[in-house]
Amino acid sequence: MKQFNEEIAWLRRQGYHSISIEDLYQALVNKASVPEKPILLTFDDGYGDNYRSAWPIMQHNNFRATFFIITNSVGHGMMNWEQLNDLIKQGNFIGSHTVHHLDLASLTENQQDSELNISKQELEQHLGISVQALCFPSGKYNKTTLKLMSKLGYRLGFTTKPGRVHLGDVLLTLKRERIYGGMPLVSFQRLFP
Ligand SMILES: [Zn+2]
């Protein structure tokens, strides 16, 4: 957590402001304004240390994040519903990372439909939120995935392709920068020119 602490403290000193999925959507679709130096922080899979270790550091530095949750794993060594509810109550955001974290591109349309639909419904029922974003397990998706996302009411999709988000990007296949454990601070800083 020393690395994460340094990274978050550095982002704060540089004047970055965290935004939500809704902020990003409104900025991309309606050109709504965002704070100076906007950043969308995302965490995949819903590990328990996101709540125990990462969240207190973000809270201390006035950042909020989006957590992509595998619904079948909730409470099984991962964050439980109570913790997820607490994160939301404190201003964080939740998206779907499917039900079972399978390679969506290898599934049939019916299987994909169930992964996308059931995870969204579970999150909405347990957390009382509207789920608007999907993060593809291991970054894998195909045309069927994108078609189903539109049908089921997902507005944003997050890949593992490295890069920034710009006006005009395809909303269902947005890029992200991956932060590795053990990444030297200078390498992290290089992502923010
Ligand atoms: Zn994942």
Using the mean position of ligand 1's atoms as its centre, give its distance from the Cα of residue 45 in Å: 5
Tell me the CA–centroid distance for residue 33 and ligand 1, in Å.
30
Ligand 1 centroid from CA 101, angstroms: 6
User: How far away, in angstroms, is 73 Cα from ligand 1 center?
Assistant: 11
**pLDDT tens, position by position, for the chain (193 residues)?**
899 999 999 999 999 999 999 999 999 999 999 999 999 999 999 999 999 999 999 999 999 999 999 999 999 889 999 999 999 999 999 999 999 999 999 999 999 999 999 999 999 999 999 999 999 999 999 999 999 999 999 999 999 999 999 999 999 999 999 999 999 999 999 999 8
CA distances from 133 to 2, 15, 183 (A): 29, 26, 27
- Look up the pTM and report it: 0.97
String of DSSP letters for 19-36: --HHHHHHHHHH-----S
SS3 content of the chain, % helix, strand, coil (to 5): 45, 15, 40
Q: Domains (ranges, CATH) in the chain? A: 2-190 (3.20.20.370)
Distance (angstroms) between ligand 1 centre and the Cα of 138 equals 6
